[in-house]
Structure formats: structure tokens, C-alpha cells
Amino acid sequence: MKSGRILRRSFYARPTVEVARDLLGKELRHGETSGLIVETEAYGGPGDLAAHSARGITGRTRVMFGPPGHAYVYFIYGMYECVNVVAEPDGVAGAVLIRALEPVRGIDTMQARRPKVKRVEDLASGPGKLTLALGITRALNGADLTRGSLTIRDTGLAGFETVCGPRVGITQCLDWPLRFSIAGNRFVSRA
């Protein structure tokens, strides 16, 4: 896989659904580890009751309201951190949950961080799994994805089929088709 330039802020300053689709095939990199983004979910603002931003700006959700191109990292189920990409223009809530990666760089490091995992397909095939594998924690909440240790890069990958379906692991807006994945990719989560 060819790793290209870091995505610019303008890539993220677009509608959340467009960003969610267009993140497929890009490379999420943290330090020496990285993976190809193979699955995402889009979360909007006040009308999306499944989004953390549905109730407006709080201390926790402030980063989701912009500026775009920053990481929104939160703790879930008392054990996992999840990484989201802030989309939409500054002041408008929107975030894309990165649901699954195909490991690319630093696979030995990822395996050391997840020693019980036997198959490479299981290292980052879920939002909590991928943050563990890449060493992404809440310390990176608000990190600028256009520079620093946590970035997303273009790969030039194109021509794949995108699958669209309902989001998973939520209780509101269950039937909204805002989950996107690369068709047939074996690293997509099994949720």
C-alpha cells in the first residue's frame, strides 16, 4: 500500500456522511502503527439521537462541534476507547466513528498490545480493538489529525465497492443507513 500525504482540513469540513464514505481506503496512523480504514459510521448533530452531540455542546462533546479534522476519543462500556473524526464546518456537530482497520504498519507492536489475539484479522476489527492495537487513548481527544502523531493519510486506493447499512451498538435511530465498509474486506467487524 502506498502511503501518501496527510489529509488536509478541507477534507473533513464537509457533510459527515461524505467524510464517512471517503475515509474508506485511507490510512489511520498513530506513531509506528497504522491501518487501512475499512469500516466507518457517521454521527450527526441534534437530529441524530444516537450521536453524543444530540444534546448540544457539553464538556465531553465540545470537540465534535469543530473545528473539523480533530479526533474525538471517548470511553465506552467502562473498558474501551473509541476514535472518531470530527467532520462538518466549525460550529456544526458531526463525527465519524472508525469501526475497523486492516493492519498495515507496526503489526508486531499491535500484537504486543493485544497478546491474546491469534489472527491478524482480529487485531483491529472493531472500534475498541483498533484503539488498543494502535495505542490510541483519551489523551488524544481533540488531537489535530492534520499534524502530530495521529494522522490520516491518502493511499490512492480506489475502485472498491462500498457497502452501506444501519449502525450497530446503538439504541436510537437504529435504521439509519450510516455504516459504511469496503465490500468483502475480511478485516471488517462482525457486529
Report the pLDDT value the prediction gives residue 14, as an integer from 0 to 100.
96
DSSP the chain: ----PBPPHHHHSS-HHHHHHHHTT-EEEETTEEEEEEEEEEE-STT-TTSGGGG---TTTGGGGS-SSBEEEEEETTTEEEEEEE-SSTTS--EEEEEEEEEEE-HHHHHHHSTT--SGGGSSSSHHHHHHHHT--GGGTT-BTTSSSEEEE------PPEEEE---S-SSSTT---EEEETT-TTS---
Report the pLDDT value the prediction gives residue 51, as an integer from 0 to 100.
80
Report the pLDDT value the prediction gives residue 184, as an integer from 0 to 100.
95
Tracing cell 491518502 back to the chain, one arrives at 154
Q: 38 CB contacts (<8 Å, ≥6 apart)?
A: 24, 100, 101, 102, 181, 182, 185, 187, 188
Split the chain (191 residues) into runs of 10 and give each run's mean pLDDT.
85 97 98 98 83 78 90 84 94 95 97 96 96 97 96 94 92 88 94 64
pTM for this prediction: 0.94
The Cα–Cα gap between 181 and 186 comes to: 11
Report the pLDDT value the prediction gives residue 20, as an integer from 0 to 100.
98
Report the pLDDT value the prediction gives residue 1, as an integer from 0 to 100.
54
C-alpha cell at 107: 503489526
Report the pLDDT value the prediction gives residue 186, as an integer from 0 to 100.
96
**Spatial CA neighbour of 81 closest among 21, 114, 50, 126:** 126
Peptide bond into 67 cis (omega under 30): yes
Q: Which class is domain 9-182?
A: alpha beta
The Cα–Cα gap between 57 and 125 comes to: 30
